[in-house]
């Protein structure tokens, strides 16, 4: 794309806060008025700024976390009114960075917001400034001196950032719905839906709407060429390089890094709380937070009360098999923290289904995102704006069962005292792969897609790529969609991995680390940090902070041998996932959690006929509404709801998915998909 007429960046558009850009109906008028300006002007009363050449508009809706004064309002501008920025998210260690920049440059800061740092960093380090930023963020900078525009996303994609083109204008925002008032007319990207590109590469479910990749920045110079460049990537040591450290050294290293990652995330000018489930990840955070507050005098944001930490949980029906609230209760009692819970029954899930889907902007074959949407109501109702959450631990420490076959695919030559005998390794590799296949079949997914394939050959035979593609509603698509050719989600995953990383996967990294890399580059950023993260949290103006994705902590963990992440217990003849995390967290958690096996966060999948969800799905999955999508065969979708409520797990997941497409299609007024008159592939 060249010759862009203007660039419009709207940061934090999804936040439910009052502000100058809170009414999207007024955006086109504001933009048109601003673009008519010829001469330079500073920030106006609408919180919008237009450059001297009338080609860049920056807008921001504020969720005030640090520096609650007007000095913290965005967009930010340098003293010369030549460099301008909007920032979504949180930057840490900003006091140290601020002091360093003051010493080096004497830069004049307007206020005390962490976000204002990006301008000073950019002016001193240029495009290298991103290497100095620690935190979760999506940001845009415009330098009118050089006509340089930069849009960047944090290393793991904790904060979203989308872009599209309308009438030769480049639009960038934290969510696609922000484009609606600016002339964008949504269309389905059917190929992306079939190939799962929305989940594994830069595509979304909407044609022409793309994501900035995690750890990348987009660069546009002189309103001409646009390119995406990486500034950071995940790295692992060579699989044959022995690690000389003792277990004790590695455990203490993880503990020290975790405490620091958590400590810096406690700072805010508003109250800070913790999401608490029945798992080790969030419990370790709650335990370490409690330790830092009680033993080291740290404050939870601006909370003057330092004796008790506030935690928030969600509870499903006890007989559902998915309720972990009893364990969370025991953890809260053990730590002596305040514990607030929201109970979610079927009626509560059904009541939030459509709004949660609207905010997420993509589908999910599980209702866990609706539970997370409801959970985020709890801190909001209690006056909290910031929570610490446990996302990312499984991806760093090998927590999911699907990783086991890849851990066992090769010897761990980096760990000299590995207790796993070679014959046991080979036998367990076959056994765990068969168990994974059976598990996916039992939950209504494809458990038979794990044979030899081109994608697996491209990724050193890891089966995690097959697990990632297990939930695919390919049988539901209309016949005309065959025009897009053979759509293989596994190939989408393999192709989305860069050439440098594929070389490392084939020759240098242990298969467990390869599996962790591939998972983090797609599922983590595009689902777990999206509909189970930022989208459902920010729908209620909650900023979630993820200590396990602190890049200094992850760099340390990535350097550990696979066999301290997953450990074979010869006596009990079983594996302990996240072994080094358990050991590092042991002083801060209960013995029950220390010994508990991984239980993935999920919502119940079995519901009675004629209940709230049955009625909801029956109303959404009618012939008229399904055929209105254009890309789903009614012959395949008819009867889906009935099968779903007769304990067919696969039908239930497909029913959830199609219902979400119906909601998104209608709320976005998405154009009905039609067979292309001509298609060049």
The domain containing residue 552 runs over which residues?
Answer: 247-393+544-563+579-595
Within a domain: 27: yes
The phi and psi torsions of 91 (rounded to 5 degrees) equal -115, 140
Do residues 188 and 106 both lie within one domain?
A: yes
Do residues 70 and 218 both lie within one domain?
A: yes
Give the pLDDT score at 43.
Answer: 33
pLDDT exceeds 70 at position 18: no
Q: Which helix (H) or strand (E) holds 343?
A: strand 338-344
Do residues 220 and 356 both lie within one domain?
A: no
Within a domain: 624: yes
Q: Which of 181, 201, 230 is the last residue of a domain?
A: 230
Is residue 2 among the annotated active site residues? yes
pLDDT exceeds 90 at position 462: yes
Residue 224, token pair as written in the block: 């001409």
How far, in Å, CA of 10 to CA of 87, rounded? Answer: 10
- Please state which of the ranges 268-282, 322-336, 454-468, 548-562 shows the lowest mean pLDDT: 322-336
Do residues 187 and 263 both lie within one domain?
A: no
- C-alpha dihedral, 154 to 157 to 162 to 163, nearest 10°: 50
Contact 673, 630 (CB under 8 A): yes
The phi and psi torsions of 79 (rounded to 5 degrees) equal -60, -30
Give the pLDDT score at 47.
Answer: 42
Give the pLDDT score at 149.
Answer: 95
CB-side neighbour CA atoms (13 Å) of 369: 30
Neighbouring CB atoms inside 10 A of 271's CB total 18
Do residues 124 and 208 both lie within one domain?
A: yes
pLDDT exceeds 80 at position 539: yes
- C-alpha dihedral, 121 to 127 to 128 to 132, nearest 10°: 40
User: Does the model's pTM come out above 0.85?
Assistant: yes
- Number of domains making up the chain: 3
pLDDT tens profile 612-628: 999 999 999 999 999 99
Is 114 among the annotated ligand-binding positions?
A: yes
Within a domain: 535: no
Within a domain: 403: no
Give the pLDDT score at 7.
Answer: 82
75 prior amide bond cis, ω within 30: yes
In the beta sheet, which residues pair with residue 162? 173, 211
Give the pLDDT score at 145.
Answer: 92
How far, in Å, CA of 29 to CA of 46, rounded? Answer: 11
Secondary structure (DSSP) of 624-666: HHHHTTSSB-HHHHTTHHHHHTTT-HHHHHHHHHHHHHHHHHH
How far, in Å, CA of 543 to CA of 558, rounded? Answer: 26
- Percent of the chain exceeding pLDDT 90 equals 73
- Please state which of the ranges 469-473, 477-481, 507-511, 565-569 shows the lowest mean pLDDT: 469-473
pLDDT tens profile 577-615: 999 999 999 999 999 989 887 656 566 778 999 999 999
| CATH code for position 362 | 3.40.50.620
Q: Which of 203, 230, 257 is the last residue of a domain?
A: 230
Handedness of CA 313, 316, 322, 328 (dihedral sign): positive
Do residues 163 and 108 both lie within one domain?
A: yes
Residue 411, token pair as written in the block: 């010897």
Q: Which of 2, 6, 311, 487 is catalytic?
A: 2
Is 314 among the annotated ligand-binding positions?
A: yes
pLDDT exceeds 50 at position 429: yes
pLDDT tens profile 33-91: 444 432 233 333 334 444 445 688 888 888 889 888 888 888 999 999 899 999 999 99
The average pLDDT across 493-503 equals: 97
Within a domain: 16: yes
Do residues 21 and 153 both lie within one domain?
A: yes
Per the listing, tokens 């960075």 go with: 97
Within a domain: 221: yes
Within a domain: 681: no
How far, in Å, CA of 518 to CA of 632, rounded? Answer: 29
Confidence of residue 678 (pLDDT cuts 50, 70, 90): low
Do residues 103 and 67 both lie within one domain?
A: yes
pLDDT tens profile 262-293: 999 999 999 999 999 988 999 999 999 999 99
Do residues 96 and 219 both lie within one domain?
A: yes
The phi and psi torsions of 605 (rounded to 5 degrees) equal -115, -5
pLDDT exceeds 60 at position 184: yes
Within a domain: 675: no
Do residues 306 and 382 both lie within one domain?
A: yes
Give all strands (DSSP E) within 530-656, no chain letters. 543-545, 566-569, 574-577
Do residues 263 and 385 both lie within one domain?
A: yes
Do residues 131 and 37 both lie within one domain?
A: yes
Average pLDDT, the chain: 89
Residue 664, token pair as written in the block: 């998104």
pLDDT tens profile 142-162: 999 999 999 999 999 999 999
């Amino acid at each position: 794309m060249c010759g862009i007429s203007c660039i419009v960046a709207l940061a934090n558009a999804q936040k439910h806060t009052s502000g100058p850009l809170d009414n999207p109906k007024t955006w086109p008028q504001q933009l048109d008025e601003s673009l008519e300006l010829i001469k330079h002007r500073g920030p106006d009363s609408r919180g919008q700024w237009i450059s001297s050449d009338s080609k860049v508009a920056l807008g921001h809706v504020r969720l005030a976390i640090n520096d609650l004064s007007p000095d913290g309002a965005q967009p930010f501008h340098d003293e010369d009114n030549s460099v301008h920025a909007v920032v979504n998210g949180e930057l840490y260690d900003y006091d140290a960075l601020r002091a360093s920049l003051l010493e080096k440059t004497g830069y004049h800061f307007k206020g005390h917001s962490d976000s204002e740092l990006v301008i000073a960093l950019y002016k001193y380090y240029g495009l290298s400034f991103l290497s100095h930023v620690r935190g979760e963020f999506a940001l845009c900078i415009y330098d009118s001196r050089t006509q340089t525009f930069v849009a960047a996303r944090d290393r793991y994609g904790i904060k979203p950032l989308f872009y599209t083109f309308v009438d030769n204008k480049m639009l960038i925002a934290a969510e696609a719905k922000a484009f609606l008032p600016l002339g964008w007319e949504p269309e389905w990207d059917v190929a992306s839906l079939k190939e799962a590109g929305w989940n594994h590469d830069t595509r979304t479910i909407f044609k022409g709407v793309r994501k900035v990749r995690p750890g990348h920045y987009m660069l546009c110079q002189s309103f001409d060429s646009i390119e995406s460049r990486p500034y950071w990537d995940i790295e692992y040591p060579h699989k044959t390089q022995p690690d000389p450290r003792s277990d004790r050294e590695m455990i203490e290293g993880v503990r020290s890094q975790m405490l620091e990652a958590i400590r810096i995330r406690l700072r805010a000018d508003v109250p800070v709380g913790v999401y608490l489930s029945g798992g080790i990840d969030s419990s370790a955070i709650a335990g370490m937070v409690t330790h830092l507050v009680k033993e080291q005098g740290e404050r939870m944001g601006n909370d003057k009360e330092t004796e008790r930490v506030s935690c928030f949980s969600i509870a499903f029906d006890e007989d559902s098999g998915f309720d972990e609230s009893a364990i969370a209760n025991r953890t809260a009692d053990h730590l002596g923290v305040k514990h607030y819970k929201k109970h979610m029954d079927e009626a509560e899930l059904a009541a939030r289904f459509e709004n949660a889907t609207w905010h997420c902007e993509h589908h999910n074959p599980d209702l866990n995102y609706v539970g997370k949407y409801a959970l985020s109501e709890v801190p909001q109702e209690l006056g909290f704006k910031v929570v610490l959450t446990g996302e990312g631990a499984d991806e760093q420490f090998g927590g999911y069962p699907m990783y086991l076959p890849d851990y066992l695919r090769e010897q761990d030559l980096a760990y000299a005292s590995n207790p796993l005998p070679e014959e046991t390794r080979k036998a367990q590799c076959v056994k765990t792969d068969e168990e994974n296949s059976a598990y996916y079949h039992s939950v209504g997914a494809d458990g038979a897609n794990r044979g030899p394939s081109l994608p697996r050959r491209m990724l050193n035979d890891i089966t995690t790529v097959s697990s990632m593609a297990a939930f695919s509603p390919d049988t539901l698509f209309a016949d005309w969609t065959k025009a897009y050719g053979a759509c293989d989600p596994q190939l989408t995953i393999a192709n989305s991995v860069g050439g440098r990383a594929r070389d490392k996967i084939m020759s240098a990294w242990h298969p467990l680390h390869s599996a962790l890399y591939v998972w983090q580059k797609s599922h983590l950023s595009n689902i777990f940090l999206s509909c189970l993260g930022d989208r459902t949290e920010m729908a209620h103006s909650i900023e979630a902070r993820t200590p396990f994705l602190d890049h200094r902590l992850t760099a340390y963990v990535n350097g550990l041998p696979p066999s301290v992440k997953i450990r074979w217990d010869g006596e009990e003849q079983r594996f302990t996932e996240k072994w080094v995390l358990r050991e590092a967290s042991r002083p801060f958690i209960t013995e029950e959690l220390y010994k508990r096996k991984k239980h993935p966060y999920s919502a119940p999948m079995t519901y009675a006929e004629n209940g709230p969800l049955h009625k909801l799905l029956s109303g959404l999955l009618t012939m008229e509404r399904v055929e209105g999508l254009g890309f789903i065969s009614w012959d395949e979708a008819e009867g889906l709801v009935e099968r779903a409520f007769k304990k067919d797990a696969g039908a239930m997941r497909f029913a959830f998915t199609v219902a979400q497409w119906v909601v998104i299609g209608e709320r976005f007024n998405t154009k009905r998909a039609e067979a292309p008159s001509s298609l060049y592939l």
